Amino acid sequence: MRNSRWVAAVAALLAVAGCNRTPDKNNTTASPAAPITGAAGVDDARLVNADAEDGNWLTYGRTYNEQRFSPLAAISDSNVGQLGLTWFADLETARGQEATPIVVDGTLYVSTAWSMVKAFDAKTGRLLWSYDPKVAREILVKTCCDAVNRGVAVYKGKVYVGALDGRLIALDAATGAPVWTTQTFDPRLAHTITGAPRIVKGKVMIGAAGAEYNVRGFITAYDAETGKMVWRFYTIPGDPAKGFEQPALERASKTWMGQWWKLGGGGTVWDSITYDPELDLLYFGTGNGDPWNAEVRSPGGGDNLYTSSIVAVKPDTGEYVWHFQENPNDRWDFDSTQQIMIATLPVNGAPRKVILHAPKNGFFYMLDAKTGQFLSAKPFTAVTWATGIDPKTGRPREVPAAFWDKTGMPFVSVPGAGGAHSWQPMAFSPKTGLVYIPVNEAAFPYAAPDEPWKPSPIGFNTATDGGKVAMPADNAARRAALEATTGALVAWDPVAQKVAWKHQYKGPWNGGTLATAGNLVFQGTAAGTFNAYSADKGSLLWSAPVQTGIIAAPIAYSVDGEQYVAVMAGWGGVWDVATGVLADKSGPTRNVSRLLVFKLGGKGALPAARPVEKMPLDPPPVTGTPEQIAHGGNLFGRFCSVCHGDAAVGGSLNPDLRHSGAINSADSFRAVVLGGILKEHGMVSFAVALKDPDAEAIRHYLIKRANEDKALQEAGKKAPR
């Protein structure tokens, strides 16, 4: 049973208060004691008791415990073959779609790329309203991983969204009109919001991203009615000379060296926020240390609390309760921001409320939810940076070569900065006892810069050398890298800490998962399919082509007693924009942004898809000097590759600069890179960091790269994009 004790306790309280709800009825029966239906009726009691409303999906992870399990069973392992599209909605934002929809009593609310919000009739697909916060596109320069948004929260008649530019916006759930807007950070800082807000006891909880751009992490609680700040918890200490906001930060300051606050320090809360009503604890995951290079960030070492950690605080005040750090003194961009799931499971023969966590670093952790005590951790995929986790302390046993910033030698790690598991949500089925993890199996190279490193006022600021480790223009090297890069759906037994079953994919960056009581697990793939597996055995039972990669997680809901499964489709995110030739591992990719909804016997069809077109490379001849090209390659690796792809091989969302007409002319290229003429499209001027000779060096590097890849293509070998 899922948290049956508090469900029963809350139900009893509600019954006493005369406001008990009938589970899974879109109840419109008029009577004096009838609860308010729809978004206006979503209050604390309904959020705490969300599991009882089996037709609804009231909060990001469906329930506060973030298990993403739907008790609906009308669609099951015996009839899922009859599943078909019933309605779909085209979205105007051709970017990665990462959101989980919310469904309340027949209305579906969802955010899209660029932080837009839409409401639909969940049965018919009729658009009820649409809201565009009109985020300025130039914010892309401080957005590592595409203009994505993972979802909204719904509470007492309002829909809440965190916009990419840091505005927390409350909309009228009936009309989509803004009710209040609060700017959550100084817009001059390099933060962004991509995560979904959560509502806890009348407060909206939201953090922000940015730990690749020299920022200090925090999570903030705002009054849901007014938008006024209630408390903020900074995840790392600031300048000690200015005092500490909490005693916990004074303690944390003893784990830092040097002048970390001048470089930001990191620990951003960019995704997971989980609440346990019984323990009254709010948990959140923190991101990597910033910059990545620990020798620069905290010279001489230190654990650098509370980066790469799970932190528990009191939701009323933000007061620290406990923490568990998964990567002390991180240097691999090992965010611990992945979904924090709560479950009651047998530990040493007795039921115990635990936290289940599968962070980027590749180990699956079980912690005591009340105290944070480490219980167990095992690798859920290949791991090369550590040999294991100390069973007593929970600290990783890193291999010496992994300390690339100390040794001065590049290190290729599995997993890497993309993470063995990223923000794509995992699901837990209490029926099978298994956790369904979307796993990435991919290496990543880390290298320290040769020269003393200085932060730049613009762009990626990780104190690494992206030029040194760019993918070589060599088909054998590329083939080896492509072969080693895969993905999988892993069904993990969290008690035994081992794989129960595994479905191998060609490539990584597949979608989040949904488990249902129909013995099903749903997952979209990077290869452009939406799949259903049997939850117990992992048999592929159903698969539908959807014309684009799916990275978001599906949901299940019901209206008028009929079950639906919905998922946001739309390839994108960091894997598309940053990984170069690896971006296409699952096949030629493109973005077709749509909300897709399925039901048994659904007869809908998508419009015919255009074929993916590959433009031939037609660059001018190489005229740059070797020194110029080498300098340009280093600058590209530092400033450009995070958006335009490793070794200048672009993904499907941002321009592939090998094909850019601007590389034909020094003046045109300068006008873009230094003059900022494409600012409205997100390409701002880099004049604060680059001079004329730098822009020209980057142009010559791009010409060289385009010629190299053209030669590979003409050699008749398997051509990279």
Which residue numbers are catalytic? 333
Q: Is 286 helix (H, G, I), strand (E, B) or coil?
A: coil
Should residue 274 be labelled a site residue for Ca ion when binding is judged by CB under 5 A?
no
CA distance 428 to 116: 29
Paired with 127 in beta bridges are 120
What is the b/e burial string over 300-336, where b = at least 16 CB atoms within 10 angstroms of the residue's CB? eebbbbbbbbbbbbebeebebbbbbbbbbbbbbbbbb
- Min dist. Cβ of residue 337 to Ca ion (A): 8
In whole angstroms, how large is the CA radius of gyration of the chain? 24
| Total of residues contacting Ca ion (CB under 5 A) | 4
461 near Ca ion (CB under 5 A): no
Nearer CB in complex with Ca ion: 86/293: 293
Supply the minimum distance, in Å, between the C-beta of residue 340 and Ca ion.
17
How far, CA to CA in Å, does 491 sit from each of 69, 117, 315, 385, 500?
Answer: 14, 32, 32, 23, 5
Placement of tokens 């830092």 in the chain: 256
Give me the sheet containing 127-131, strands edge to edge: 102-104, 107-111, 117-121, 127-131
- Quote the least distance from Cβ 334 to Ca ion, whole Å: 8
Of the candidate spans 219-227, 310-318, 333-341, 524-532, the one that interacts with Ca ion by CB under 5 A turns out to be 333-341
CB of 53 to Ca ion, least distance (A): 35
Q: Fill in the amino acid letter for 233.
A: F
Beta bridge pairs of residue 502 = 490
For residues 577 and 343, what is the distance between their CA atoms, to the nearest angstrom?
A: 35
Minimum distance between the CB of residue 408 and Ca ion, rounded to whole angstroms?
23
Q: Is 709 in the site for Ca ion (CB under 5 A)?
A: no
User: Please, which residues have CB within 8 angstroms of residue 605's CB and are 6 or more apart in sequence?
Assistant: 85
Contacts 24+ apart (CB under 8 A), 235-244: 235/267, 235/268, 235/269, 235/286, 235/306, 235/307, 235/309, 235/311, 236/260, 236/265, 236/266, 236/267, 236/304, 236/305, 236/306, 236/307, 237/261, 237/265
Residue 287 or 362: which CB sits closer to Ca ion? Answer: 287
Task: Considering the complex, state which of residue 39 and residue 269 has its C-beta at the smaller distance from Ca ion.
Answer: 269
In whole angstroms, what is the distance from residue 664 CA to residue 669 CA? 8
> If DSSP states are collapsed to H, E and C, what string results for 465-493?
CCCCCCCCCCHHHHHHHHHHCEEEEEEEE
* Beta carbon of residue 162, minimum distance to Ca ion (angstroms, whole number): 17
Q: Which stretch binds Ca ion (CB under 5 A): 131-139, 329-337, 588-596, 669-677?
A: 329-337
Contact 94, 597 (CB under 8 A): no
In the bound complex, what is the minimum distance in angstroms from residue 147's beta carbon to Ca ion? 17
Give the one residue of 51, 146, 303, 333 binding Ca ion; rule: CB under 5 A.
333
Shortest distance, position 128 Cβ to Ca ion, whole Å: 36
Of the listed pieces 33-41, 125-133, 279-287, 458-466, which binds Ca ion according to CB under 5 A?
Answer: 279-287
Name the segment binding Ca ion (CB under 5 A); options: 166-174, 326-334, 421-429, 596-604.
326-334
Strand partners, 413: 444
664: exposed, middle or buried (Cβ count in 10 Å: 0-12, 13-18, 19+): middle
Instruction: Report the distance separating Cα 648 and Cα 561, nearest Å.
Output: 51
DSSP for residue 705: H
Q: Where are the beta strands (DSSP E) in 422-554?
A: 427-429, 434-441, 444-446, 486-493, 498-505, 513-516, 520-524, 529-534, 540-545
Q: Which stretch binds Ca ion (CB under 5 A): 169-177, 328-336, 433-441, 473-481?
A: 328-336
Q: Name which of 131 and 292 has its Cβ closer to Ca ion.
A: 292
* Residue 330 in contact with Ca ion, rule: CB under 5 A: no
Residue 99 is classified by DSSP as P
Q: Which two tokens stand for residue 641?
A: 């590759």
Restricting to residues 516-535, name those near Ca ion by CB under 5 A. none
Pairing between β-strand 198-200 and β-strand 178-183 as defined by DSSP bridges: unpaired
| Range in contact with Ca ion (rule: CB under 5 A) among 22-30, 193-201, 255-263, 332-340 | 332-340
| Among positions 51, 295, 335, 696, the unique one binding Ca ion when judged by CB under 5 A | 335
> Smallest distance, Å, CB 335 to Ca ion?
5
Q: Which residue has the tokens 């298990």?
A: 67
H-helix or E-strand spanning residue 562: strand 562-569
Per CB under 5 A, which of residues 191..250 are in contact with Ca ion? Answer: none
Minimum separation from the CB atom of position 469 to Ca ion (A): 17
Please tell me the distance from the alpha carbon of residue 291 to that of residue 258, in angstroms, as a whole number: 13
* Stretch of 64-72, 330-338, 640-648, 699-707 contacting Ca ion, by CB under 5 A: 330-338
Choice between 160 and 444, CB closer to Ca ion: 444
Nearest approach, Cβ of residue 361 and Ca ion (Å): 12
> What is the x/- site pattern for Ca ion, positions 280-299, by CB under 5 A?
-------xx-----------
Of the two residues 335 and 576, which places its CB atom closer to Ca ion in the complex? 335
Which residues are at the interface with Ca ion (CB under 5 A)? 287-288, 333, 335
